[in-house]
A and B are shown apart, each in its own frame.
Chain A
């Protein structure tokens, strides 16, 4: 059997049904073998789209997503997508073609050190040098990607290895792989579990931060049980959205830089913080020296390296969130009787009342009538339509990065795990659209909506062709403010309103663009029309794009970077002032300056010194 065929057999053995990719010279044998296979291959329009789609597929389904790109530029185009998956612990297998082994190291056509390039952005990677190693390597790659703390695994596959014949009989796919250096700890240490249970019973002002790990380990049921059993309020990180129903009385919403006031206050005032499957990124903690200053901290994480990395913890528990929570609950029930009586510590009532009143006095205003539309209104109408169409348990939203993402994170209530898909750790603009493709392929029965900014949308706009050609019915909602809104907000807040390269002009007309791709599209400028258009889009079984023209001066409340969580500031609502110079002006400036300096037109050009400034 040829190596490429064996590779595809090995993928099928892992239960892979769909792969996302883009062919090329170094992948010709691979695609030739695909010809005879039942694997579904989605041809994206850019390898980055393939990687994000595989990632979206993984996040929506919990299964491993697979993407493929050719050697050289195909591999480098995958990089952003793989790094995005790595930052959010998403199980993705990235396959790259490679030049034949005899040419490796010779700077051959489209040769690149893919192994070296991917090394720092994957959980592990392999270069297969003999076809007989294919079955065991693919097995190992999937094992590594999906177990423990999941993450992307990269396989570099030279062309001659794809072509080489080998005897699959004597090199069968092994049922188990031998990885002597890889043994994730799943069960929490009993002593630590007991300590945690004791701390939970003693706490008067406890709060839970649920991170992405809760979603990944399918621990939402256990989280709900623990919270209800002991009356512990729950806030989530961005990645943790969906791990706890946000309409639950104990839900405080998201915590951190763009967190809600109740969540940020609860964390700042609690005496016990139970952090589950979260890594205390700077977007969550703000200033670490004043983070949760009165709290004893329990940190549950499957990755021991996350514990104590950013925050000192009192009770570390290494293990899988689901198993650890189960054990903690059992331990609590054992010490309090199976009815759980006595777990609702009486002294907590004041705490819960306090947070309840914070919640009540901080219900965000969303029903704006303004033109241009306020984004909050769109989020509200989206939630209404989901409810009216009874889509609650078959609805997935993907977001892009920027204000659109944070408006959704802050205002949009999520109820179920794996239904809010967003690039957290890397914050990759251009993620939302291809991730929606992956999510829809993973869960074809669900309605998939991609909420995106105009900037991020244009970063992978080519995937409209993928959506159109396959007829993938995703609904694209552009929060069109004609600005790089998030950066614009920071410049207005922290750089004295010196708006610099954050404004777009009138181009393009997104409705015409969509129609050019053969996708139904509408522009919405009046808040009264939002609901009807959303309904129409969600009821249609075709791809649909809605261009919501929104107020560019609208911002988000936020904690300044490195600030204290309670110090939430309001955005400066500044209108766009930046002027985009025309090419004619630029040309005049270029030619004028060179003449002044007495240089010839073709003479050396002086480069401006870049100004250092913080970007989002």
Chain B
């Protein structure tokens, strides 16, 4: 099993960050190599991504299930690659550092199963932290770009 946790401070109120976080489509679009996202229902979606390993790009389909929505602080999810024996879980945690500042922490665990597990995990180990970091930075960028005012938080 490989895991990573990436924290980042976002210059926006926690409620506004949550508006973005609860929109699964918005998350999917931030994934490197995002192609499209099919939303089955509020909790289930299927993401198609192009993932690069060195000079090779592979199209993978990922089934994502959000098991717990506890906004604006928490969400937990699981995922599984279709056709590849790789699955995992993750969490979103947000803490308000001030009225317009939020720290989010994204934790992701990935597990390969079967005889290929050592390969998947060894290949993923150096990539996962970079991947998660890139994602967190994109997340921050998007939320901050949405602007200070756009919040459904109580005035």
> Are both chains from one complex?
no
Binding site for A on B (CB under 8 A): none
Which chain A residues have a beta carbon within 8 Å of chain B's beta carbons? none
